[in-house]
Amino acid sequence: MIGRAIFNKLPFQPNRLSQLPFGAIKPKGWIAESLSKQAACVKSREYGDDVEVISVLTPIAFITGDESLIKTVTDAARGIIQSQRPDGDIPVSGEYDWWKRSVALGVLRQYFMATGDRDALKCMDKFLKYQLSVLEAHPLCDEACARSSENMLSAIFIYNLTGQKHLLKLLEIIRNQSLDWTNEWYIFPHIRPLSKYTTYSKIRSGLERDAGLNGIYQKVNSREYYLTEARSVAFGLKAPSAVNLFKSGFKEATAFKHGWKRLMKTHGVALDMYTADDHLAGGNPSQGVNLDSVSDMVYTLCDIMTLSEEVPDEIPAILEKLAFNALSAAWSADMRRRQSVLQVNQLSIGKDSHTWFSADSEASVYMERDLSAADAGLARFIAGTWYATGDEGLACVSYAPCEVNYIASGTRVRISVETEYPFEGDITINVEAKAPIDFPIYLRVPGWAEQAVIRLPDGEMIETCGGEMACVRQVWGSFSSIAVKLEMKPRMRFWHHQSASIEAGPILMCLGDGASSYWNWAIRSEQEMELVKTPETAPGFKNGESGLRVVVKAALCDQWKSDGVDFDQVPVKPEVNAAEERELVLIPFGDTFARVAQFPTYT
């Protein structure tokens, strides 16, 4: 892997964090077991040379260190390099298929970071020169136009290594041929489910009448299709942050914040994710969440952290919510079968007539599926837990158990995170350096932690507030240890129709399979909740008995109906018989197949 972090060159806006190469962070503990199972399942299949499949395999291969998968990815990357034409084009798909070529650039970028193979850089550089020469005559279209942030990131990467000025011109052309995500997040007219306006067949036929999305002539039907499509929305959320590097402005710098707030208000559910199956579907927790877009959001959040000078706590907080909930619940225990769409309130996982907009009837069934973006989600998350900092240090944004091997202040260091997080808030961070070296380690204190205590190597104790980034700077030697203790109290958050969710740390709690004979419970809106931990239970999801539980007070809500497949809308201020209130035990979302995680509330 490469041995130095890459930061922005002028005239780009400065960034605070730089992502470490795939392979610099290795999972440990329960998350390593999950990824090991996934790698074993993945490598048992046969793959062609589709670059979108290779882009999924790349993080899994280098994060798990699986030699067979690394060879598959290496052979594919070398195949892309060797296929390059004299004019610089890389023929991974049909002529001027800019989306597939953008994905191929991403594979080469990540492959170079993991291996240091400079042929990948030469290939990328030559291709970007070719793209600059033909892009105005053959503009971006369809996914390449809607998800152009992927193309921009590769141009930004090469510019930060070479400083070649023509790449700034290329970035400007790409921006001009892209969907205007910056204004989309500020205006955001898509405040209702797309199903309220049209049917999937009509929006598809409108897209076909427009002959797709063109980067210069963007017709209404095509814009509407991609501005509401699950995966494109995820890529679109980081597009303003990429544009802000070379066309800095207030709107570009703040677009993610504004866009995310609007998405969550109108389409958000308790996973900290928007519903879409496969287009924006509103805030009803019975609507589906597309798993490919969840993985793309993990990718987006990791990129935003490396594109911005400031990293608010909400970004790593969303990252953890997606990894520890959606990406855990959607897989079977053996990591072989998964859903393509999940629901926060999910009564049925069979082949039923859900209220989908466009997903097929098997979307919620746990089954073996073709490899897609969803499969890369957990590996992408691990790759985004630690970063290099501009002052030659390292920063932790999530305490998932892992080991980091990288360079700080010019010296090789190894950092081991010993913990069962997120099932507990006790973390030990062991630091070893090849030679005594002075560098900072930044530790994120999650916003949900009412109190956090950090014990430094010399025994000194410091208390910090949630939402802050604590800095521990000293001369690190052969072995030092930091202890972090985060207080994990259950808390309640409110969503669509005043429905409530319960969280313990970054884990969403829910009424799970077999926990009750009834599903239609309402919970008291103001109450003291009890967090129960079972230390002897093995950490991880779907490992048997849940080791984390929250006890809440609840009453049956007869107004809340279902058709046996999906719940009706969550009733607002339902009438319940408080005299029949009882204690309800909630378990982690990731431990369930069917569940209820957003409840009506009463006082």
pLDDT classification of 45: cutoffs 50, 70, 90: confident
Structural contact between residues 376 and 59, judged by C-beta atoms closer than 8 angstroms = yes
Residue 10 has pLDDT above 70, yes or no: yes
pLDDT classification of 515: cutoffs 50, 70, 90: low
pLDDT of residue 139: 97
Question: For the segment 204-245, what is each residue's pLDDT rounded down to a tens digit?
Answer: 999 999 999 999 999 999 999 999 999 999 999 999 999 999
pLDDT classification of 545: cutoffs 50, 70, 90: confident
Structural contact between residues 590 and 546, judged by C-beta atoms closer than 8 angstroms = no
pLDDT of residue 513: 80
Task: For the chain, give the percent of residues with pLDDT over 70.
Answer: 100
More confident residue, 311 or 384: 384
167 to 87, 110, 333, 399: CA distances (angstroms): 17, 19, 46, 37
What mean pLDDT comes out for the span 278-300?
97
pLDDT of residue 46: 78
Question: For the segment 570-593, what is each residue's pLDDT rounded down to a tens digit?
Answer: 999 898 988 889 999 999 999 999
Residue 317 has pLDDT above 80, yes or no: yes
Mean pLDDT of the chain: 95
Alpha helix ranges (H) inside 210-322:
220-227, 230-236, 239-246, 250-267, 291-307, 314-321
Nearest one of 502, 268, 292, 302 to 398, comparing CA atoms: 302
Which of 180-189, 346-355, 560-569 is the least confident region?
346-355
Q: Residue 29 — φ and ψ, nearest 5°? A: 60, -140
pLDDT of residue 554: 96
pLDDT of residue 438: 95
Question: For the segment 91-126, what is each residue's pLDDT rounded down to a tens digit?
Answer: 999 999 999 999 999 999 999 999 999 999 999 999
pLDDT of residue 451: 84
pLDDT of residue 536: 82
Any residues with CB less than 8 A from the CB of 550 and at least 6 apart, and which? 490, 502, 504, 509, 529, 530, 531, 532, 585, 586
pLDDT of residue 514: 65
pLDDT of residue 579: 84
Residue 51 has pLDDT above 70, yes or no: yes
Question: For the segment 81-93, what is each residue's pLDDT rounded down to a tens digit?
Answer: 999 999 999 999 9
pLDDT classification of 49: cutoffs 50, 70, 90: confident
